[in-house]
Chain A
Amino acid sequence: MQENRQEQNFNSDNKLHIETLMDEYSHKLLRYCHTVLCNYHDAQDALQSTFIKAYYKQSSFKKDMDISPWLFKIAYNTCIDMTRKKKIAQILFSSTQKQEEGYIPQNILDALMTLSPLDRALMFSRAIDESSYDELSKIHSKSPEALRKRYERARKKLIEQLKDDYPYYAKKEEVK
């Protein structure tokens, strides 16, 4: 089953079928980039770059590899690169950051911004994508154990940030 799905990603010339990949992964990757960058328009740019890089980097992808971590790794590196460039531009040229236009509720945005891009990536991958630490280890080149600790620390921090206005958290407090 997995093998058949993998086959769909290649065309008759044994090249990656980029259209199929875009159909299957674009929204998931867009949500991932949106969470990491906390800006929808930047996420759109990152998504474009991710697929263009995937197309040009396809020689580094082997058929026995799993396509999903490979794509997410490219997306993550693209987001990090964009974050760095923006940070440098902000420091050097006082450029102002484009504001997120209401796609993320303000309290959640504020809380997410207290985390690093890696932590935000882990939040998405664990909570939405339900990736295992072994899978995440392929994306971030860190040990599964280090990523687990990192995720737990970030999760605690995020919940702490939202404890005043998050109803689920309040319910948990009542139970105690």
Chain B
Amino acid sequence: MNNNYDDKIIKNMMEQIHTPKYNVSKDVIKKISAVPKSKYFLRKVLIAAIIICLCAGLLGALKLIVVNVVNLDGETSQFEYPPNPAVITPTPEFEIEPIDIYNGFFDDITIGELRLIIDKNDYSAQMNIPDFDTSSYSELEEALKLSIIDFSLPYYIPDGYTFTKGSISYFLGEETLEAELLLSEEKNNNIYEVYRLPERYKKYPNNVFLYFNNEQGDEIRYSIFLTYSEEEGGSIQRNITKTTTTKTLEIQGFEKSLLLHNSAENAYFLNELVLYNEISPVKEITNFIRVFPKELPEEFKSEEIHYLTYSGVLYLINTDNLSEDEVIKIAKSIK
């Protein structure tokens, strides 16, 4: 009875939200049927890629012949088949769409493998930032070891919570993409190319998420964000609103630690811990990462690519239903 009454209250309240009608059809149809402006350029890139692939194949075959000829005179030798990577010139990337659009292309993915999908017709998802997803904590740790950044992970998680999944997203850190073409498929009048990326792309992470859940559906999300700046040592500014209460904590290993409790701005982060440390964890600060421009230029212009450096690492703990003490306990266990 009470529940019904409460439901009515909620319904009445929700009906006070005024949502004006919006004719979405026009915008959607326009986007779906839009012919890419620089299709001609893409065609040229595709033709160039095919020629390069053919050349790479020919060179590989030539090398095979040369090595075999040389081996005729020598003793038995271990011949290593030359790799035949598909080398393509990257098309500029602008807005990144969630990778789940292409889930079908990940069905046979092996653990630890990075894949890149290129959608030839859809600019909004032309080149996805590759993701690494796992439900194994040790696999996640192994993948993180390949990064140029030293990450810190929590060693205390409250009772009842277990690790459920983790993900790392990466930047494509180089101008020329070297990757193995696994599949080229036409779907819904689009051509999709699926590439397998070499391990070295795991050097440049963008962010890392670890999820811990209990049986009640509560979640602890541990997030690591790499911050970057056009100038080395740039600092982060955080939005602290009137509804945020802050408390400075002394946690070993972190220069600045701040506990933010924000109940009004966004309750999804009810208890939020931000541990911010400066550039010290970065091993190779000379490595550049590449960030793509947001606007779609008519053709690829190298001067429009921004080069940024990692400037710091930001750690966050977001929880649904934990006490402040528990959040601090997790923070203190981060090593």
Cβ 8 A contact of B10, one of A23, A60, A87, A126: A126
Q: How far apart are A26's CB and chain B's nearest CB, in angstroms?
A: 5
Contact of A127 with B by CB under 8 A: yes
Contact of B73 with A by CB under 8 A: no
Cβ 8 A contact of A81, one of B21, B98, B217: B98
Contact of B18 with A by CB under 8 A: yes
Query: At the interface with chain B, which of A1-9, A63-71, A106-114?
Result: A106-114
User: Could you mark each residue 28-47 of chain A with 1 if its beta carbon is under 8 Å from any beta carbon of chain B, else 0?
Assistant: 00110011000010011001
Q: Which residues in chain B, 21-59, are within 8 Å of chain A measured between CB atoms?
A: 21-22, 24-25, 27-29, 31-32
Query: Could you tell me the dominant secondary structure of chain B's interface residues?
Result: mixed
User: Could you mark each residue 103-128 of chain A with 1 if its beta carbon is under 8 Å from any beta carbon of chain B, else 0?
Assistant: 11100101101111101000110111
Q: How far apart are A29's CB and chain B's nearest CB, in angstroms?
A: 9
> Does A123 lie within 8 Å of B14, measured CB to CB?
yes
Chain A residue at minimal CB-CB distance from B103 = A60
Chain B residue at minimal CB-CB distance from A157 = B267
Give the chain A neighbours of B269 by CB distance below 8 A: 87
> Does B13 lie within 8 Å of A27, measured CB to CB?
no
Bound Cα distance A44, B11 (Å):
22
Give the chain B neighbours of A31 by CB distance below 8 A: 17, 19
Q: Which residues in chain B, 242-263, are within 8 Å of chain A measured between CB atoms?
A: 263
Bound Cα distance A83, B98 (Å):
13
Bound Cα distance A47, B24 (Å):
7
Bound Cα distance A22, B29 (Å):
10
> Does B15 lie within 8 Å of A115, measured CB to CB?
no
Bound Cα distance A83, B8 (Å):
28
For A44, A113, A147, A162, which residue has the most chain B Cβ atoms within 10 angstroms?
A113
Cβ 8 A contact of B13, one of A115, A126, A166: A166
> Does B320 lie within 8 Å of A51, measured CB to CB?
no
Query: Could you tell me the dominant secondary structure of chain A's interface residues?
Result: helix
Give the chain A neighbours of B227 by CB distance below 8 A: 92
> Does A94 lie within 8 Å of B239, measured CB to CB?
yes
Bound Cα distance A55, B97 (Å):
14
- Contact A158 to B13, CB < 8 A, known contacts A27-B19, A52-B28: yes
- Contact A30 to B22, CB < 8 A, known contacts A60-B104, A117-B268: yes
Cβ 8 A contact of A26, one of B22, B29, B217, B320: B22
Q: How far apart are B113's CB and chain A's nearest CB, in angstroms?
A: 21
Give the chain A neighbours of B104 by CB distance below 8 A: 59-60
Contact of B100 with A by CB under 8 A: yes
> Does A149 lie within 8 Å of B9, measured CB to CB?
no
Bound Cα distance A28, B62 (Å):
62
- Contact A147 to B217, CB < 8 A, known contacts A88-B225, A128-B15: yes
Give the chain B neighbours of A168 by CB distance below 8 A: 8-9, 12
Contact of B111 with A by CB under 8 A: no
Residues of A within 8 A of B (CB): 15, 18-19, 22-23, 26-27, 30-31, 34-35, 40, 43-44, 47-49, 51-53, 55-60, 77-78, 81, 83, 87-88, 90-92, 94, 96, 103-105, 108, 110-111, 113-117, 119, 123-124, 126-128, 142-143, 146-147, 149-150, 152, 155-156, 158-159, 162, 166, 168-169, 172
> Can you give 12 contacting A-B residue pairs, CB < 8 Å?
A27-B22, A48-B28, A52-B28, A81-B98, A87-B266, A91-B238, A91-B274, A119-B267, A123-B14, A126-B10, A155-B6, A156-B6
Which 8 interchain pairs have the tightest Cβ spacing? A146-B217, A127-B11, A116-B268, A127-B10, A94-B237, A114-B267, A51-B28, A31-B19
